[in-house]
Amino acid sequence: MGRVDPAFDTYRLSDEHEALRDAVRALAEKEIAPHAADVDERVRFPTEAHEALVKAGFQAVIIPEEYGGQGADELAGCIVIEEVARVCTSSSLIPAVNGLGMTPILLSASDELKKRVLPSIATGEAMISYALSEREAGSDAAAMKTRARRDGDDWVLNGTKCWITNAGESTWYTVMAVTDPGKGANGISAFVVHRDDPGFEVGPKERKLGIAGSPTREIYFSDCRMPADRIIGAEGTGFKTALRTLDHTRPTIGAQAVGIAQGALDIAVAYAKERKQFGKHLAEFQGLQFMLADMAMKVEAARQLVYVAASRAERGEPNLGFISSAAKCLASDTAMSVTTDAVQLLGGAGYTKDFPVERMMRDAKITQIYEGTNQIQRLVMARALLKG
């Protein structure tokens, strides 16, 4: 058998990746995990996690060095998100949504706009959110109603965006808006809005099942005015940029889901070793051994697919839609399954807030919904299979 083609040796975690995992896990265990229950209970932003991530430089590791960042690859970005999500999903949305908000800028913005926005995120002075969805334009994002019109040296936005993660905490917002209604998806453009732009407002927090510590709000544009050079790429290319963005960021949601599932599995294993029934530890019952084995198998399969997707995205391979959607879909379905099994394995204890698994089960659900529902992921995969 000849040498394996490097294209199929999609990744092998480098020593740097392993060191990064160890560092993020240590930080998460010490600085983030102790506050996770309180963040969820009080529905508050995880300030301790934000401060710890910024101090360690983990809030946005993929920003290139030329813009003040660390220049880490997309796999490293996934590892950070995974390890934070293992102890607190809400906190993992700090690096995850920074990545989502700035990916359109990295992909399509002018160098001048990159220099204006990215350094403040690299230092942790600012966060960035992503604004695509509207109440009547979720899965059908191209049906958006938010409008942008050119007025001399400015763009003026009007409309409402919803489900905006970290809205109110972020300084910058990547916003998709219609600039030419007659062109459908080709009439959508992307912009970077600053929270101090006149005509920009943030709505009240949504009351959610999970990720309680990450604020989700509507944002409003009422003749919101910004300089013309805050457009990302050419006019009319915004929706294409949005779709390319998802190819890169769906694996990060997969990484978040893997982290949640791993956290739940770790708790379930520890509990099974400690808890006794009928004079034996739970870990001695074959039925529960099989349950844990299935949970671990699913987590590892999801992790491998996420890492492959992130590695292919980093290389800029064509036709990323299938692998990115597959990674997000499999990992989020796994997170929901594994967290539910963890609650079941812990029994009555798992149903209480004395253990984190009930929170993890609630948090896991959103990974099947945002950045495209898993029904949409399956549509993307099917189209990739059936095209041509």
91-120 pLDDT per residue, tens? 999 999 999 999 999 999 999 999 999 999
- pLDDT tens-digit profile of 255-287? 999 999 999 999 999 999 999 999 999 999 999
Instruction: Indicate whether 313 pLDDT > 90.
Output: yes
Q: What percent of the chain has pLDDT over 90?
A: 96
pLDDT of residue 3: 38
pLDDT given at position 1: 34
pLDDT of 240 higher than 60: yes
Q: Is pLDDT larger for residue 167 or for residue 8?
A: 167
Type of residue found at 189: S
Average pLDDT taken over every residue of the chain: 96
Select the more confidently predicted residue: 4 or 348: 348
Q: Please tell me the distance from the alpha carbon of residue 173 to that of residue 97, in angstroms, as a whole number.
A: 11
Contacts 24+ apart (CB under 8 A), 61-69: 61/20, 61/95, 62/99, 62/106, 63/102, 63/106, 63/118, 63/121, 63/122, 64/106, 64/118, 67/114, 67/115, 67/118, 67/119, 67/122, 68/118, 68/119, 68/122, 68/123, 69/118, 69/122
Chain segment 117-132, per-residue pLDDT in tens: 999 999 999 999 999 9
Please check the confidence at residue 4 and state whether its pLDDT lies above 50: no
Domains recognised in the chain with CATH numbers: 15-123 (1.10.540.10), 128-237 (2.40.110.10), 239-386 (1.20.140.10)
What pLDDT does 120 receive? 98
Does residue 169 carry a catalytic annotation?
no
pLDDT at 5: 41
* The pLDDT of residue 8: 44
Give me the pLDDT at residue 11, please.
58
Structure tokens at 312: 């292919």
* Section 11-24 average pLDDT: 92
pLDDT in tens, 40-74: 999 999 999 999 999 999 999 999 999 999 999 99
